[in-house]
Amino acid sequence: MSPAERTGTTTAVRQLRQVDTPGARTMNNLLAYLPYCGTPPVPAELVLRWNIDFTLIGIIVALAAWHALRIGIFDYGAARLRRASFLTGWSVLALSLISPLCALSVALFSARVTQHMVLAVVAAPLIALAGARFNDSGRSGPDHGRSAFRAAGLFAVLLWAWHSPELYASTFASDAMYWTMHATIVGSAILLWHMLLNGARENALSRVGAGFITLMQMGLLGALITFAPGALYSPHLLTTRAWNLTALEDQQLGGLIMWIPTSAIFLIAALLTMYSVLRDGAVAHVGRADV
């Protein structure tokens, strides 16, 4: 983000500072500190609002390199699926933070939710898949099952906390809060998907159960946001007008994004796990019968 973007103001911000309502006063307090992704964009400028933050890019590259070395993704014999998952997952993570989606998330709650969901249910499972060890007998047993439930609980607590109106608003007033939010959501999502994708048949039901818990809690949070009677998120009270949305309509769209597409992804993952277990069980049964 250029210095001009961090010091400039948009029409929406100037209009907001002329409004004297409790919500506008809250937003004015937030705008005393310009959000990390800059001012709320208008449609005509969005395509140019890339977040070219070399510090961020360097951190992402360093983390990806550390991950590659840790899991031996480029070692001879590494599966093509794991390599493709690694490259795609880290690319999606980088684009969600560097592309104009970063700026759009300042204007629209639905864009911020989209960014979170891309990180949590697209980038995170791909990154976790790159290091997955399927049917690893060393991961079987009750400890792995309990760890899957703990990971699901941690992700749920963090997701609900960061989408509470107060904590959500704080990420617009502090870069530290903004990055704490993203680091904890992404980190807990990768941990959750790691637990869901790793393990043997013996703990498959625990992994499926943790996935269904995640599906239900995300669906519940999305539904509560969708059907809230009023706008909950003060940073977006007036920043949605340029996009032909009211703050409430934008909030409802964000709730639906969290509710329906992401729940479907966890449902598909759970069904695929069950299918894999049933298929492997059938193969093992046939093998014993042949003996």
Q: What is the pLDDT of residues 248-287, one digit of tens each?
A: 999 999 999 999 998 899 888 888 877 777 765 544 444 4
Give me the domain span that covers residue 54: 3-285
111-152 tens-digit pLDDT: 999 999 999 999 999 999 998 765 444 445 556 778 999 999
Q: Is 244 within the bounds of a domain? A: yes
Cα–Cα distance measured from residue 140 to residue 218, given in angstroms and rounded to the nearest whole number = 27
Mean pLDDT, residues 169-186 taken together: 97
For residue 260, how many C-alpha atoms fall within 13 Å in the half-sphere facing its CB? 7
Read off φ and ψ for residue 171, nearest 5 degrees: -75, -15
Cα–Cα distance measured from residue 45 to residue 68, given in angstroms and rounded to the nearest whole number = 36
Burial 173-199 (b: 16+ CB within 10 A, else e): beeebbeebbebbbebbbbbbbbbbbb
Res 3 pLDDT > 90: no
pLDDT band at 6 (very low <50, low <70, confident <90, very high): very low
Q: Is 16 within the bounds of a domain? A: yes
CA distances from 246 to 108, 167, 239 (A): 10, 22, 9
pLDDT band at 25 (very low <50, low <70, confident <90, very high): low
Task: Write down the pLDDT at residue 12.
Answer: 45
The pTM assigned to this predicted structure is 0.83
86-116 tens-digit pLDDT: 999 999 999 999 999 999 999 999 999 999 9
For 62, the enclosing helix (H) or strand (E) is helix 54-71
Residue with tokens 């749920």: 156
Q: Is 290 within the bounds of a domain? A: no
Cα–Cα distance measured from residue 12 to residue 95, given in angstroms and rounded to the nearest whole number = 26
Q: Is 94 within the bounds of a domain? A: yes
Task: Write down the pLDDT at residue 255.
Answer: 97
Q: Is 291 within the bounds of a domain? A: no
- What is the number of structural domains in the chain? 1
